[in-house]
Amino acid sequence: MTAGDDAAWMARLRERILAAVPEGHDVPELARFRALQRDYPARGGKGLRGRVVLLAAAAHGADPEDALPVAAALELFQNWVLIHDDVEDDSETRRGEPALHRIAGMPVAVNVGDALHVAMWRTLIHTDAPWRNAVLAEFLDVIERTAEGQHLDLSFVAEGRFDVTEAAYLRMIERKTARYTVVAPLRLGALVAGVDPDPRLDPAGLALGRAFQIRDDVLNLLPDESGAYGKEFAGDLYEGKRTLVLARAFEVLDASDRARLRDLLGRPRAQKRPEEMREALDLLARADAIAYAQGVAERDAAQGLSGLRDAFSAAADPTAAFDLLNLLTGLAERHA
């Protein structure tokens, strides 16, 4: 697989993802149920995690064809988790359109996520590929870890705590995002190739995954001039989401600024007015917190990429490994 035929692979991956939930049903309500399960996948995310699986499999010497169901399952995981995350955070939009629970209601959206969760397992269980057991075990671990990360995140919210430490924030995003975005796809690529994952993949993948999430937090607070980011500007402030930017601001601001920031962010979402969120942004700027987070992301990205260059220095397919590192570089330094 070379960078040149990337579009063709993405089309095949997308087809494979949607094949997990067939269209239509004799019972009209159940046809609608399937359409709702296909909604997020059909919105066409970037397919980043699936692409990492395909390239990592190729780099380890496997035919990426063999990795397609695994890549599709990981994208299905991403989609059901997003449905539930959007419910849990009461997000407004996803991929530039209303979040599913804002279309279908919270109860229906939770159940649609559950059905897509089952479709994910079906994709992995209904195969007799030699990698099946190892891949199933990896999915069990990554989903459990992701749920733990989500719980840490939700615990901060439930306690009304904004002054989370940098260490607690990093522990949270390693579990919630970094593992399933980078570590698991790299390891899954190895497993499809029948290779024991190199132990260097874990720390390097975690560092890259942290960079990816921190860049996401930063992007959320920068004006989206190109429209490519596709999420609500400063939506994280409206949602009261804990980010490295906030952790840094609470560390360096003086007591009165901290109290004001806590007050602005702690209000119920419906009572947050745009001018107040602009004031919160000004406080973050005073702490130079966005630039600080950007610096951490760059350091983590460099560390992760360096670790992966080592791990893939003797790759079975050096071209695929080169493409993989390029993709991950773009991911860690994402601009959208």
125: nearest Cα among 76, 92, 160, 90: 76
Integer-rounded Cα radius of gyration of the chain: 20
Question: With CB under 8 A as the contact rule, which of the stretches 45-53, 106-114, 213-221, 314-322 interacts with a second copy?
Answer: 106-114
For a second copy, the closer CB: 247 or 332 = 247
Question: CB-side exposure of 127: number of CA atoms within 13 Å?
Answer: 22
| CA 80 to mean position of chain CA atoms | 12
88 near a second copy, rule: CB under 8 A: yes
Give the alpha-carbon dihedral of 284, 287, 292, 294, to 10 degrees.
Answer: 20
32 near a second copy, rule: CB under 8 A: yes
Cβ(293)–Cβ(221) below 8 Å: no
127 near a second copy, rule: CB under 8 A: no
Question: With CB under 8 A as the contact rule, which of the stretches 40-48, 49-57, 129-137, 259-267 interacts with a second copy?
Answer: 129-137
For a second copy, the closer CB: 22 or 318 = 22
Min dist CB 24 to a second copy, Å, is 13
321: nearest Cα among 302, 303, 305: 305
Cβ(86)–Cβ(36) below 8 Å: no
Cβ(57)–Cβ(192) below 8 Å: yes
98 near a second copy, rule: CB under 8 A: no
158 near a second copy, rule: CB under 8 A: yes
For a second copy, the closer CB: 44 or 105 = 105
Residues numbered 174 to 213 that lie near a second copy (CB under 8 A) are: none
242: nearest Cα among 74, 17, 89: 89
3-state secondary structure 111-136: HHHHHHHHHHHHHHHCCCCCCHHHHH
Whole-angstrom distance, CA of residue 4 vs CA of residue 327: 13
For a second copy, the closer CB: 128 or 196 = 128
Dmax (CA) for the chain in angstroms is 63
Whole-angstrom distance, CA of residue 257 vs CA of residue 310: 44
Q: Which of 20, 55, 87, 308 binds a second copy (CB under 8 A)?
A: 87
27 near a second copy, rule: CB under 8 A: yes
Min dist CB 262 to a second copy, Å, is 20
125 near a second copy, rule: CB under 8 A: yes
Residues numbered 299 to 328 that lie near a second copy (CB under 8 A) are: none
Q: Which of 43, 46, 95, 111 binds a second copy (CB under 8 A)?
A: 111
103 near a second copy, rule: CB under 8 A: no
For a second copy, the closer CB: 84 or 231 = 84
Binding site for a second copy (CB under 8 A): 27, 29-30, 32-33, 84, 87-89, 104-108, 110-112, 114-115, 117-119, 121-122, 125-126, 133, 136-137, 140, 143-144, 147-148, 150-152, 154-155, 157-158, 171
